Amino acid sequence: MASSTSAVKELQRELDNKANDLSKLQKDIAKNHQVRKKYTIQLGENELVLKELDLLEEDANVYKLIGPVLVKQDLAEANANVHKRIEYISAELKRLDAALQDLEEKQNSKKEAVRILFSFFASFLMQFV
Amino acid sequence: MASSKGGSSGSGSGSVGLEKLSVEQLKAVKEQTDLEVNLLQDSLNNIRTATSRLDLASAALHDLSLRPAGKPMLVPLTASLYVSGTLDDADHVLVDVGTGYFIEKTMVEGKEYCERKINLLKSNFDQLFESKIVFLNLNEMDLVDSSIIGRSSFWGFRGGGHSSISPLPPL
């Protein structure tokens, strides 16, 4: 009887660990969603700016807000900056997508593991009923 | 941008077989749809505020274009502190296009910018509104509601309320 109670405890600990891992993964996924949302919004804003810049004449005056000051900037330079930023954000979004897929795969396998462990645990307990 | 995630499950399963779903599943479907509708409603509200702000800016530009250069005016430094000044250049305005970029435009171009943005927002608004209608699809919601109530009374507890059975993990 003593060995079976220790086995139960062992199983329970393992189950707890797995459940913790699972919730950690789910938290990571939620975080990923949040960050991705932020980047998507920024990407949209940058694309709007780019569209505006494309409409301008060559000699238009463009200013960049740096802290509290407006600094005059070349149209070409501003264009290049926005392009670079869009590239960066797109790359970042792609990276986040890959990370999310990875996390979701991990989550699914963890879920399966928890499920198996739980059914094993339940059938183990059934022996004593 | 609002309907990027989890949008397909609600409307997809709606027509297939609501009658066959369990109470728990029906609740989940309803919650999902509610969430989606709320999200869309928020987005619609945001678009509406943005549009009204652009309208305001457009009106201010129009107002400014009526004043001749050199006209004395009071410039607000804070909400309650004004200093006197004169209108130096009535033809050029700086437009904030986002992400910290400002573009110098003439009065006419500035107005065009406002118009363009308002039109863009309007088309976005219409798009969102359509997808909201799809989601809202009142028949479906009613169906979900009534089948929850119907099923619930069958199971012997009150419709829509917090059920006392907790979902058992699948064995």
Provide the residue range defining the domain that includes A67.
2-126
B97: distance to nearest CA of chain A, Å?
Answer: 6
Count of domains observed in chain A: 1
Q: pLDDT tier at B16 (50, 70, 90 boundaries)?
A: low
Residue-wise pLDDT tens digits, B64-105: 888 888 889 899 999 999 999 998 888 889 999 989 999 999
Could you tell me which residues come within 8 angstroms of residue B100 by beta carbon, excluding any fewer than 6 positions away?
A64, A65, A66
Rounded distance between C-alpha atoms, residue B140 and residue B148, angstroms = 12
Residue B20 sits at the chain A interface (C-beta within 8 Å): no
CATH number of the domain to which A107 belongs: 1.10.287.370
Q: pLDDT tier at A8 (50, 70, 90 boundaries)?
A: confident
Rounded distance between C-alpha atoms, residue A118 and residue B11, angstroms = 33
What's the CATH architecture for B21-155?
A: Orthogonal Bundle (1.10)
CA–chain centroid gap for B30, Å, is: 21
Q: Which residue has the higher pLDDT, B2 or A25?
A: A25
A120: distance to nearest CA of chain B, Å?
Answer: 9
Residue B5 sits at the chain A interface (C-beta within 8 Å): yes
Mean pLDDT to the nearest integer, B154-167: 43
Rounded distance between C-alpha atoms, residue A106 and residue A86, angstroms = 30
Nearest to A78 among B1, B5, B101 (CB): B101
Q: Do A49 and B99 touch (CB under 8 A)?
A: yes
Distance set, CA B163 to CA B23, B144, B148, B157 (Å): 10, 16, 11, 7
When the pLDDT of each residue in chain A is averaged and rounded to a whole number, the result is: 91
- The residue among B94, B103, B116, B117 with the most chain A CBs within 10 A of its CB, best to mutate, is B103
ipTM of the complex, rounded to two decimals: 0.71
Residue-wise pLDDT tens digits, A75-91: 999 999 999 999 999 99
